[in-house]
């Protein structure tokens, strides 16, 4: 598989569910990986590096909280100094937590969502873009909550709508240099972000202690296709499309991968 042969991709949130899948999928297609995440996930990054290297590709790891612009810039610059080039930026890190009606959200929860899901993407793009040449690609991971509203997630939905606007603007600004910018909007994806008790309780308020199976039944009813969620690799395949030359004339675009959630009548 050579759709990204010898290119280099930086991925944020790389130790987590979806970020890990992006790294492995891109490596499967011949890319070397610069994998960034919080320092507390050092062990996860080390395991990921082994998995990438077992595919015959290089994996440089680094720590950066995407809220910290200097840390992101230093991690990207240090990584690119080792890989020698950068072709793809995958701004994937995000949080979906503290779920509550808008008027019950604390200022801290609101700010944290905006700081990570919006400003963190901006920091990532700002650090990565100067290294990209013609043919470079920036892929942002948004959400169906950036396409429609989401109950008990005003902070998250606002951040994902805002980052969609950022993508469209960046596409205009970077296009003349041959750099494309696109966004993937996942629906429910089987990662720790939604496979947890807080989300189970939100989607099954009718039950005292809902389980993963209880939540799956409710989430499946939201989709057109008969599945509760998609796998991380389903999103990684969309990321790969935007990262590769197969989408060479696609920019400023939003690709929804959601088992039909946003179109369900």
Ligand X SMILES: NC(=O)c1ccc[n+]([C@@H]2O[C@H](COP(=O)([O-])OP(=O)(O)OC[C@H]3O[C@@H](n4cnc5c(N)ncnc54)[C@H](O)[C@@H]3O)[C@@H](O)[C@H]2O)c1
Interface with ligand X (CB under 6 A): 12-13, 15-19, 37-38, 41, 65-67, 92-96, 116, 120, 141, 143, 186, 188-189, 191-194
| Greatest Cα pair distance in the chain | 55
* Nearer Cβ to ligand X (6/27): 27
* Nearer Cβ to ligand X (80/93): 93
* Nearer Cβ to ligand X (178/218): 218
Give the whole-angstrom CA distance, residue 169 versus residue 163: 10
* Nearer Cβ to ligand X (53/231): 231
Query: Helix 17-28 and helix 42-53: axis angle, to 10°?
Result: 20
User: Measuring CA to CA, which residue among 36, 61, 58 is closest to residue 123?
Assistant: 36
CB of 126 to ligand X, least distance (A): 15
* Nearer Cβ to ligand X (95/250): 95
Give the whole-angstrom CA distance, residue 61 versus residue 77: 12
For residue 246, with 0-12 CB atoms within 10 Å meaning exposed, 13-18 middle and 19 or more buried, which class applies?
Answer: exposed
Give the whole-angstrom CA distance, residue 108 versus residue 67: 14
Give the whole-angstrom CA distance, residue 70 versus residue 213: 42
Whether 156 is a known active-site residue: answer yes
CB of 29 to ligand X, least distance (A): 20
DSSP-assigned states of every residue in 204-260? -TTSSS--HHHHHHHHHHH-SSS-S-B-HHHHHHHHHHHHSGGGTT--S-EEEESTT
CA-to-CA dists, residue 263 to 14, 43, 158, 225, 255, angstroms? 30, 39, 20, 11, 13
Give the whole-angstrom CA distance, residue 91 versus residue 12: 6
Judged by DSSP in three states, 114 sits in helix
CB of 66 to ligand X, least distance (A): 4
CB of 95 to ligand X, least distance (A): 5
CB of 229 to ligand X, least distance (A): 6
Catalytic residues: 156
């Amino acid at each position: 598989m050579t759709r990204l042969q010898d290119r280099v991709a930086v991925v944020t949130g790389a130790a987590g569910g979806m970020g890990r899948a992006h790294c492995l999928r891109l490596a499967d297609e011949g890319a070397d990986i610069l994998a960034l995440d919080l320092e507390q996930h050092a062990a996860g990054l080390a395991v990921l590096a082994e998995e990438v290297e077992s595919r015959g590709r290089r994996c440089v790891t680094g720590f950066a909280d995407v809220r910290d612009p200097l840390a992101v810039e230093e991690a990207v610059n240090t990584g690119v100094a080792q890989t020698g080039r950068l072709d793809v930026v995958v701004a994937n890190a995000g949080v979906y937590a503290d779920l509550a009606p808008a008027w019950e959200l604390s200022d801290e929860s609101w700010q944290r969502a905006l700081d990570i899901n919006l400003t963190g993407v901006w920091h990532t793009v700002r650090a990565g873009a100067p290294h990209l040449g013609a043919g470079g690609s920036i892929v942002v991971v948004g959400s169906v909550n950036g396409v429609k509203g989401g109950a008990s997630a005003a902070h998250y939905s606002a951040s994902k709508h805002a980052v969609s606007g950022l993508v469209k603007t960046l596409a205009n600004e970077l296009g003349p240099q041959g750099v494309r910018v696109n966004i993937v909007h996942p629906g429910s994806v089987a990662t720790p972000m939604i496979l947890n008790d807080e989300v189970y309780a939100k989607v099954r308020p009718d039950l005292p202690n809902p389980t993963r199976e209880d939540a799956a039944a409710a989430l499946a009813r939201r989709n057109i296709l008969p599945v509760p969620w998609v796998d991380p690799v389903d999103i990684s395949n969309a990321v790969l499309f935007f990262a590769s030359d197969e989408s060479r004339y696609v920019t400023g675009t939003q690709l929804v991968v959601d088992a039909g959630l946003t179109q369900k009548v």
